Amino acid sequence: MRRRAFHLACFGACLGVVVSGLAQEGHPLTGTWTGDWGPTATQRDHLTFVMNWDGEKITGTINPGLDSIPIASVFVDVTNWTVRIEADTKDQSGKPLHIAAEGRVDNIGSYHRTITGTWRQGATNGDFKITRD
């Protein structure tokens, strides 16, 4: 009887280790991020990023929905946790518009980490800050 209880306890402990391993969050940029960007403190546009690590690269979307913008590329320098995100879309008149965001990941140990930096959308420059939800 003691032997059976011991085996059940070992099985439970192993199962706990496996489940906790599966619960890891993965790549630090994976998830939904929200915030804003703008050229001034009063002129801001809301942002939502959905990013995912597929095992080889980070893919994602800016402002998911009808007017979503696919992320073209993401570069992460893990030595200093800087990030460069690029995307291409069209402006209201249909002309091509390039977006480039460069920032730094802060609070890397927190689930609600942030990325803060500079935002360039066409000829407009500003800053941005997004926080992982």
Q: Output the pTM of the full model.
A: 0.79
What residue ranges of the chain have pLDDT lower than 70? 1-25
pLDDT for res 4: 55
**Mean pLDDT taken over the chain:** 86
pLDDT for res 3: 57
Strand 45-53 and strand 114-121: pairing? Answer: unpaired
pLDDT for res 1: 54
pLDDT for res 42: 96
User: Domain 26-132 - what CATH class?
Assistant: mainly beta
- CB-CB contact of 29 with 130 (8 Å): no
Residue by residue, what is the 3-state secondary structure of 15-56?
HHHHHHHHCCCCCCCCEEEEEEEECCCCCCEEEEEEEEECCC
pLDDT for res 14: 43
The neighbour count for residue 2, using CB atoms within 10 Å, is: 6
pLDDT for res 106: 96
Alpha-carbon dihedral sign for residues 105, 109, 114, 116 = negative
pLDDT for res 21: 35
Range list of β-strands (E), 80-132: 82-90, 96-106, 114-121, 124-132
Rounded to whole angstroms, the Cα distance separating 127 from 38 reads: 6
